[in-house]
Amino acid sequence: YQGCDRSVGEAVLSGKTELKSSRNAYDWLGHGIYFWEHNPTRAVEWARLLSKRPHANRKQVRKPMAIGAVIDLGLCLNLLDGRFLAQLPLAYEELRAFHLEYGLPLPENRPLGKSKDLLLRHLDCAVIETLHQLRRDDGQPSYDTARGVFVEGEPLYPGAAIQKFNHIQLCVRNPACIKGYFRMREDR
């Protein structure tokens, strides 16, 4: 599910436009089109959050909504699987070596506003984008999608290790993996 402005959602559902790839330095799964897996509630919450704060790189969300998508993960960088997680430290070391060689500061993950969560994921984005570049350089096929757990928010109750906004997020790098869109039932 993706949260968006109703005008965007309706245009996508009618086939007049496509969702655009995000290329922000803080996109935690790298560049692509972001979705919440099995979580229309979080998608609508995100759109409502965007409606309350203007964003320099994005059209203002005036009427929040969520649309569903049918996605074939294709070749997926699945960060819920240890064999894919094992690739990230290698990409990190390459990124770190590059920054050291050129005297550049390494990107950092940072909180946003008063949040304690590291919501601005500059380092994570750079590591994942480095991994994609390493695969291209090595002649390996590109990942079509990336999938990971995002732990976010305050604990649900005292002593909890489960946070209020935990979710699984998908980043679609290859738009051909989006097989179609659908409208959510209004009673959801």
**Which carries the bigger pLDDT value, residue 186 or residue 132?**
132
Reply yes or no on whether the pLDDT at 121 is more than 70.
Answer: yes
pTM of the predicted protein model: 0.91
User: What is the per-residue pLDDT for 116?
Assistant: 85
Average pLDDT, the chain: 93
Overall average pLDDT of the 51-69 stretch = 80
User: For residues 60-90, b (16+ Cβ closer than 10 Å) or e, as one string?
Assistant: ebeebbbbbbebebeebbbbeeeebeebbee
At 187, is the pLDDT very low, low, confident or very high (cuts 50, 70, 90)? Answer: very low
Q: Which residues, 6 or more positions from 26, have their beta carbon under 8 angstroms from its beta carbon?
A: 119, 120, 121, 122, 125
Reply yes or no on whether the pLDDT at 80 is more than 90.
Answer: yes
Reply yes or no on whether the pLDDT at 59 is more than 70.
Answer: no
CB 95 within 8 A of CB 27: no
